[in-house]
Amino acid sequence: MINVGKPPVPTPMQLPDGHPAVATGRVGILLVNLGTPDGTDRKSMRRYLEEFLTDRRVIEWPRAVWYPILYGIVLNTRPQKKGKDYETIWNTERDESPLRTFTRSQSEKLAARISGHSNVTVDWAMRYGTPSIAERLKALKAEGCDRILVFPLYPQYAASTTATVNDKVFELLLKERWQTAVRTVPPYHDDPVYIDALARSIEGHLATLDFEPEVVLTSFHGIPKSYFEKGDPYHCHCMKTARLLRERLGWSKDRLRVTFQSRFGPEEWLQPYTDKTVEALAKSGVKRLAIVAPGFVSDCLETLEELAVENGEIFLHNGGEKFSFIPCMNDSEPGMDVIEAVVRRELGGWI
């Protein structure tokens, strides 16, 4: 938690004798990302995966169908496999995942950028794992934050990401006698600041390469097709982001293409699939390829291991010659420009 400035002098209140001190008058900002295990060991991975995969927003199957699969198969096999994957990207210096490192840094840099507002406290949390939303909301309230902006770090809205963050916040408010005023950040998939920052990030990375990609894939995290058919706007948001990015870069549809990654289970997910597209491009004669992940605010397992490593290997093993993964914006200047712009807009009237 970072206090941007010293707390303002409170307005004198007439309190009965013996009344406890009441901290009020501050504005809190809570950045929330998906989550991370506390370690790569089996126990830590199982704890994280259990919390994640028991969320009804993530897996919408009836519990009677899903739980025997989850507890009988998934949680007995997946923790060890995913733990090994996390080991390949782990921040060994801080003994944490890159997602935790970047989210903390984003919180610290945001605090520095809005340090002119003395009554603002910036903090961060994870929807699954630690630090939890409950823990950090409690800390913000204890700090005197009677107004809190909750920022789910997902540019494109999906029920399984943005909504589940909001669900947890509202669930906690249900238990409060004295509720904090809360705002939640809406999707910003088409925000000009976000589109421009993405373009600058891509252009900057491509300028460092010794080759020019024939194709650049925008790989978004997938969702089951059934979720989209029930009314989830995620697919539409992804397609609009890609269209606006294509227009900003001045590229054709053939040069900048949309794919979806990280499918799980037997259901059909949003297509085209990233790995299948990478393989098909290589086999069709494309020799130079790059992938960017516009839906991820920070690099994590799905970008550093799945895209940069797995899909790179798929491309090179099927005839491709040059491959590059374009990092997420993370806590870079373009990335922080987006977070700051969204926060300042959504705090209108509060600061």
State how far the Cα of 43 lies from the Cα of 46, in Å rounded to an integer: 5
> What mean pLDDT, rounded, does the chain reach?
95
State how far the Cα of 16 lies from the Cα of 37, in Å rounded to an integer: 47
State how far the Cα of 81 lies from the Cα of 34, in Å rounded to an integer: 20
> Residue 89 pLDDT more than 60?
yes
Q: Which of 151, 152, 136, 148 is nearest to 181 (CA)?
A: 148
In this prediction, residue 11 carries a pLDDT of 46
* 0.75 surpassed by pTM: yes
Give 192-326's CATH code, choosing from 3.90.230.10, 3.40.50.1400, 3.10.350.10, 3.10.20.30.
Answer: 3.40.50.1400
Coil, helix or strand for 79? helix
pLDDT in tens, 198-215: 999 999 999 999 999 999
pLDDT in tens, 48-70: 999 999 999 999 999 999 999 99
Backbone angles phi, psi at 113, to 5 degrees: -70, -25
Q: What percent of the chain has pLDDT over 70?
A: 97
- Residue 127 and residue 168 in contact, taking contact as beta carbons nearer than 8 Å: yes
User: Alpha helices of 21-130 — where are they, by DSSP H?
Assistant: 42-53, 63-69, 75-87, 98-113
Instruction: Look up tokens 């399984």; give the residue.
Output: 160
- Residue 154 and residue 297 in contact, taking contact as beta carbons nearer than 8 Å: yes
Q: Which residues contact 242 (CB under 8 A, 6 or more apart)?
A: 218, 256, 258, 294
Cross-strand pairs, 32: 125, 152
